[in-house]
Homo-oligomer: A and B are copies of this chain.
């Protein structure tokens, strides 16, 4: 049986999708100049902008707090930084790009030879016009990131290096939104919000998560949704350390990262490999009519590393377009406003909503008339004239639902087994339930 997809979206729906793509791109443009890091005022300013759109709570965790095996680091803030040549010209200028400073650089202000300067510079020789993004969170260092052409243009001589930063006790900040649902079980959406002027990684996920939140606020929610805007690694570790009581309620989760480029969707499965979220994302991607790639879990990547550490082993996968490090613009100044596209953002947004829709509707029913087929025709559910070849999709969907609703198949299982889209299966189940032919299997409360 060929894979059956749901009907194509209406023109109106397509227009709405375009609009949300354009809005999300504009929000990226707003956030782009801010110099973010894993702590500090840049992170706070970013959350403040999002708070104007969604009911976000900013949490502050003091420096020195023990979080699992880690300690919340000192807070980093930066005001200015430059390299000046002998003529007093800024040859590297933080005001041009937040990437120019090695993120988390300690303050420095002195005169150095070109040779010493070079030991503190990071470039990309293969892409001489791009600035790399480099960090030194957990070892004290200072440095500049610049283009290879900038570096090559530096004549021998002395240079004034100045980084007006502070690395001092303060707080780690993260943002959180909780949208209560009918059930206490939660769907977690997490994105890292600690990268400075990089658009795909990860302003793209920040804005998609923001617009998903706006959408979810307005709809009936079976599950409770929790959306996290956190610094990478230390943020998820901090959140996990502070939310031991929430962790057991996480039933499904998605880390979003790099969802604005023009590449195909990629989904990295949870450590479990066969969680409901894995099945739901695979189903949605399979029925969208676009190329996609499913990847097994690896312990390298984004914050799914923490959620999927063996002590937690949460059902959290990672949704991206082109995966990290597989595009040359990754972690460089070329990951800019041109690299992310409104239509890609809109497409990622739509894919996430489709996944939530499947999770939301994925119930288990039990056929109340399991001996033989119930007589659908008598109930007006089946075509009257016999002898024609194939039943139509909604009839097939009813037959599949009746046949497999033995208490051990969810609607998503049935969709996958039948090759029909989840929407057909859910509609069929709903119709059959209305006629008393199916009963919803009671869900155990955790």
Question: Could you list which residues of chain A lie within 8 angstroms of chain B, going by C-beta atoms?
Answer: 1, 68-70, 102-103, 122, 132-139, 141, 233, 236-237, 240-241, 271, 298-300, 305-306, 308-313, 324-325, 330-331, 367, 369-375, 377-378, 384-391, 396, 399-400, 402-406, 418
A310 to B367, CA, bound (A): 8
Give 27 A-B contacts (CB < 8 Å), ordered by A residue.
A68-B372, A69-B375, A102-B385, A132-B387, A134-B386, A134-B387, A135-B387, A136-B385, A138-B377, A139-B377, A141-B384, A271-B403, A298-B400, A299-B373, A299-B399, A300-B391, A300-B396, A305-B373, A305-B403, A309-B370, A309-B402, A310-B404, A311-B370, A312-B371, A330-B389, A331-B387, A331-B389
> A386 near B309 (CB under 8 angstroms)?
no
Residue of B nearest to A401 (CB): B299
A300 proximity list for chain B (CB < 8 A): 390-391, 396, 399
A313 proximity list for chain B (CB < 8 A): 406
A283 to B403, CA, bound (A): 27
Contacts A372-B306, A403-B271 known; A386 to B137 CB distance under 8 Å?
yes
> A402 near B331 (CB under 8 angstroms)?
no
> A70 near B311 (CB under 8 angstroms)?
no
Give min CB distance, A143 to chain B, whole Å: 8
A388 proximity list for chain B (CB < 8 A): 134, 331
A237 proximity list for chain B (CB < 8 A): 372-373
Give min CB distance, A167 to chain B, whole Å: 15
A375 proximity list for chain B (CB < 8 A): 69-70, 138
A369 proximity list for chain B (CB < 8 A): 68-69
Residue of B nearest to A398 (CB): B299
Residue of B nearest to A378 (CB): B138
A70 proximity list for chain B (CB < 8 A): 372, 375
A240 to B372, CA, bound (A): 8
> A405 near B135 (CB under 8 angstroms)?
no
A370 proximity list for chain B (CB < 8 A): 309-311
Partner of A371, one of B122, B136, B311, B374: B311
Contacts A311-B371, A370-B310, A403-B310 known; A386 to B135 CB distance under 8 Å?
yes
Q: What is the predominant secondary structure among interface residues of chain A facing chain B?
A: loop
> B403 near A299 (CB under 8 angstroms)?
yes
A391 proximity list for chain B (CB < 8 A): 300
A17 to B310, CA, bound (A): 42
Residue of B nearest to A313 (CB): B406
Give min CB distance, A297 to chain B, whole Å: 8
A367 proximity list for chain B (CB < 8 A): 310-311
How many copies of this chain sit in the oligomeric assembly? Answer: 3
Give min CB distance, A302 to chain B, whole Å: 12
A113 to B103, CA, bound (A): 87
A1 proximity list for chain B (CB < 8 A): 298
Give min CB distance, A238 to chain B, whole Å: 9
> B309 near A372 (CB under 8 angstroms)?
yes
A141 to B387, CA, bound (A): 15
> A371 near B138 (CB under 8 angstroms)?
no
A308 to B403, CA, bound (A): 8
Residue among A241, A375, A405 with the highest chain B CB neighbour number at 10 A: A375
A406 proximity list for chain B (CB < 8 A): 310, 313
Residue of B nearest to A195 (CB): B387
Give min CB distance, A250 to chain B, whole Å: 14
> B389 near A325 (CB under 8 angstroms)?
yes
> A134 near B69 (CB under 8 angstroms)?
no
A385 proximity list for chain B (CB < 8 A): 102, 122, 134-136, 141
A324 to B387, CA, bound (A): 11
Give min CB distance, A189 to chain B, whole Å: 19
A141 to B377, CA, bound (A): 14
Known A-B contacts: A299-B400, A324-B389. Give 9 more (CB < 8 A). A69-B369, A69-B371, A134-B388, A138-B377, A240-B371, A241-B372, A299-B402, A305-B403, A310-B404
A411 to B334, CA, bound (A): 40
